[in-house]
Structure 1
Amino acid sequence: MAITYPRAERAAQARTAAVQLAADGIDGVVFGWVDNAGLTRVKSVPLTQLAHAAEYGVGAAPCFDVSLVDDSFTVAPSSTGPVGDLRLVPDLDRLVALAAQPGWAWAPADRYAQDGTPHPGCQRGFARRVTEAIERRGLSVKAGIEVEWVVADSAGAPATLAPAYGMTRFIEHSDYLREVLRALTDQGLTVLQLHPEYAAGQFEVSIAAEGPVEAADTTMLVRHTIRAVSARHSLRVSYAPVFTEGSLGNGSHLHLSLWRQGRNLAHGGPGRHGLHPDAEQFLAGALAELPALLALGAPSVASYLRLVPSRFAGAYRCWGLENREAALRLITGSAAGQANAEFKCFDAAANPYLVVGGVLAAGLAGLKSGLPLPPETPSDPAALGPAALGPAERLPTSLPEAIDAYEKSALLRQALGPELYEAVLAVRQAEVELFSGHTDADVIEAVRWRY
């Protein structure tokens, strides 16, 4: 039986929210969703229309299910081209005034059919469904996604060439970073770290862990906020997988931990490095599915210019304690609540809802099958000879290789559902064709300012 959202309740919630937003000087509200190419699409309404939008949604063309990074379109079995309409329904629990965009508020949106039933291609809905399946097993997940970005000047060059992690870089952009920090905090986010990163002009921010869907929402809010603050400082921002050819790229590392009744199952257990059995099986399931998951988490042709050995990108399917070259890095932390696993092979070209939903679906399969983790890789896998690699293996080195693994994944086909699975596949295949015959430099240039 189809499930519809509670229209009257949402309208009432919106009317209450609108009163406070008006008092705060808000004139309009932006509703955002992320397409299968990883681009954020939006519609906005004046504040006076918020209640109507919460009750009935705002129209959005379904053709964006098959939109590409260059704004062209492909086709999938369920796509209807220019025909039809969907409704964007804002999640008012995440409604927030945008600190760096005076007069505007923002909320992530779910996509519904016009009759109020969930759109099967809604990526946020997919992440929610998998989260609920884990919760039905008496488990919960805390997640966080690192945000890395390159700051560039008006000419498009990195805005600083100061040393990686260096105080000089921090000083050069101290006022800018302070405004980023203040804007994120004013929006109710808990910032854990903010620092210069490795590549020229690169910075990183980490936000406190929360539920999987909420973590994906927060990631988008953080990216929007950084971009808005940057514009106020006459700076440009790129979240693209690679900004400069041959350099380290922008990762979007997913951190997560599995919990049961208030206990972190990545700490204090009988398994390796304190893992409880459920946590080990969950991580084993995700690790086993990583080649196919790259079609979700490293979705661009440019992603594979970042995902190379010895660049802290996690180019090998293996795991290890504090191993920054393993795709799955286990982190014990300094306290029980801080222990978590980090998936390093994903980047910001990805739709974060697809990433968290895909990883959780693979982890859930590991739980159901009781899958054990393979032997640990305790050193840089790139430095090991073939005979010493053991269970470690190179992850796909190109988008076509990841697509091949994705097409062989019955797990992801079932978890995503036929409409979303086929739309993702169509977009990936079309982008391979889009960049066919292009040099690495061409690809980098083409996507540098799209993300």
Structure 2
Amino acid sequence: MQEGIKDVHGLSTEAEVLEAARNPENRIEFVRIMFTDILGRPMDFSIPVSELEKAFAEGKGFDGSSVEGFVRIEESDLVIVPDPKTFRVFPWTYQGFDPAITWREAIMFGDIYQPDGNHYPGDSRYVLKRTLERMKSEFGFADFKCGSEMEFFIFPDDQTPVPTDSGGYFFSGRHGEVRKEIQLLLKKMGIESEYDHHEVAHGQHEIDLRYQNAMDMADIVMVFRYMAKKVARMHGLYLTFMPKPINGQNGSGMHVHQSLWRNGHNAFFEKEAPYHLSPEARNYTAGIIHHAREICAIFSQWINSYKRLIEGYEAPVYIAWGQKNRSAYIRVPEYQPGKEKATRIELRSPDPGCNIYLALATMLSAGLDGIKNRLELPEPVEENIYHMSNSKQKKAGIQVLPRNLQEAVRLVEKSQLVRETLGEQLHEKFIANKRKEIEDYLQNVPDEFDKQVSPYEIKRYLPML
């Protein structure tokens, strides 16, 4: 519990949140209400605490036509209602120009509705919520649990990707204190981490977030992105989740560890089975592998994402699975073999620039499709796929992820699974947005940058992500 803040963690009802927000000891004056645009970028506005009860009852109206991928100007009115289960308090006190003026601010995520009271179909958070409800009602699972590995770079500013160190994997050099401060501030907000270290590339770092149910994990990823960037700014640095800012170095991924739970038990676990994976776990994994090419654009949504997904930089290129194989698309971690709670799969293709709500919803849908159709998991591949011959890859049935956003968008446009998961409106708007991005890129970047990070990407994505 952070100093000066009373009883704010783990609240779930409107009454509990109102009591905590109004408690004079907490000195909370404003509540920031957050949501995302179609690309998963954070959007927010703040209301005084005095408006919170009304916001719970009636929502707060806003102009949806001004948000990327939402509605047209002639149908722009939308309403957002804060979710009381997401209430957290920022772990610092703001001070005005007048030193006597200080305040604290809380943050909540909101659900977006149309004026007629129906859920707004373009709300990314609702897409995940709807997919989780289907998981429960049609498949009988209670939880989809996830843990995200958040990789990022730290640079001096948002203009030029100059590494602040020349370290490598587990290097104990500069800016470890930035990672620690991020985690300690998150802990004061009730968000736990499990691990932090320097990553392979120069200036690259990783913080792993503790396993949560999927909706909480998605919200936490959004808070993490905000807090990580803010802490870096406090140190006079710039932190970016751009997938591939530096040529010749590893890019940043967001590996997602995941499992399904039923009746308090891990449905992925079977003690005597190979890899301790239950039949449902194998079907689920087969579903993601089966749909890997058509869902790639959701996990890797930027032109720059595909500069990361190339051979030789520990990013998955080939669609296969294994246990110790870090060149594979999906890995079965072996840190605690035979332990039910630790049994999971690790999906390695997403990057931290994705829309986390759409990414989790899509991977869950693909896995559930594998369970529904009892898809058979191919044989594991433990050999380094980068070193396999084309004929050997073909014999093993190993396919390749899309080589660029153009190919990925063509595939996702035809995907019935993604269309059903996202809904017709969001699916169409996502594709339209990506086609515009591709058009802008092709008009500004020569072919020689097919696999190289271009100056155009640095200018566009580095300040954005």
Whether TM-score is above 0.5 comes out as yes
Structure showing greater relative contact order (alpha-carbon pairs closer than 8 Å, 6 or more residues apart): 1
Where 1:146 maps in the other structure, the secondary structure is strand
CA contact (8 A) 1:150 1:238 kept: yes
In the TM superposition, residue 271 of structure 1 has moved relative to its aligned partner by 4.1
CA distance in 1, matches of 2:367, 2:218: 17
Structure 2 CA distance, aligned partners of 1:162 and 1:436? Answer: 33
Residue identity matched to 2:459: E
Partner deviation per Cα, 1:339-381 (whole Å, 9 max, x = no partner): 2111111112211000000011111111110111112111221
Letter in 2 for 1:15: L
Partner of 1:3: none
C-alpha displacement of 1:83: 3.9
1:181 lines up with 2:205 in the alignment: no
State how far apart, in whole Å, the 1-side matches of 2:169 and 2:50 are: 46
Determine if the alignment matches structure 1 residue 19 to structure 2 residue 25: no
Relative distance call for 1:64 and 1:421 in structure 2 (3 A) is farther
CA distance in 1, matches of 2:433, 2:365: 21
Q: Secondary structure at the match of 1:414?
A: helix
For 2:266 and 2:122, the matched residues in 1 are separated by 32
Q: Deviations over 1:295-324 (max 9, x none)?
A: 111001111011112212111111111321
Indicate conservation of the 8 Å contact 2:161/2:246, yes or no: no
Deviations 1:129-179 (A, max 9, x none): 11121122221321122211111114745452232134442xx32433332
Distance 1:271 1:65 in 2: 48
Equivalent residue for 1:444, pick from 458, 461, 464: 458
Specify which of 344, 351, 373 is matched with residue 347 of structure 1. 351
RMSD: 2.1
**Contact 1:265–1:279 under 8 Å retained in 2:** yes
Gap change, CA 1:291 and 1:40, over 3 Å in 2: same
Per-residue deviation, 1:115? 2.8
User: What are structure 2's unaligned runs of at least 5 residues?
Assistant: 1-11, 95-103, 446-452
- In the alignment, which residue of structure 2 is the partner of 1:128? 129
Contact 2:86 2:108 in 1 (8 A): yes
* Matching of residue 151 in structure 1 with residue 157 in structure 2: no
Q: 2:212 aligns with which of 210, 213, 233?
A: 210
Q: Residues 82, 295 of structure 1: CA spacing in aligned structure 2 closer, same or farther, 3 A cutoff?
A: farther
Aligned pair count?
430
Q: Which residue of 1 aligns with 2:81?
A: 89
Unaligned runs of 5+ in 1: 1-8, 68-77
TM-score, normalised to structure 2's length? 0.87
CA distance in 1, matches of 2:208, 2:83: 23
Within a 5 Å distance, the mapping from 1:124-273 to structure 2 comes to 124-136=125-137, 137-139=139-141, 140-154=143-157, 156-158=160-162, 160-169=164-173, 172-269=174-271, 271-273=273-275
Tell me if 1:328 matches 2:337.
no
2:113 & 2:390 partners in 1: Cα distance? 50
Q: Does 1:59 align with 2:61?
A: yes
Give the match's secondary structure for 1:436: helix
**Counterpart Cα distance in 2 of 1:199 and 1:412:** 33
1:418 is matched with: 424
Q: Which amino acid aligns with 1:150?
A: F
Q: For the Cα contact (< 8 Å) 1:322–1:331, is it kept in 2? A: yes
Q: Contact 2:309–2:317 at 8 Å: present in 1 too?
A: yes
d(CA) in 2 for partners of 1:237 and 1:301? 20
TM-score (norm 1): 0.90
- Secondary structure of 2:259's partner? strand
Q: Classify the secondary structure of the residue corresponding to 1:44.
A: strand
Structure 1 stretch 9-18 or stretch 31-40: which is displaced more? 9-18
Q: How far does residue 101 in structure 1 lie from its aligned partner after superposition?
A: 6.6
| Distance 1:205-1:174 versus aligned 2 partners, 3 A rule | closer
| Percentage identity across paired residues of the two chains | 27
Tell me the distance in 2 between the aligned counterparts of 1:282 and 1:64: 38
The amino acid across from 1:418 in the alignment is E
- 1:386 maps to 390
Measured against aligned partners, the alpha-carbon deviations of 1:384-405 in whole angstroms (never above 9, x if no partner) come to 1111111211100111111111
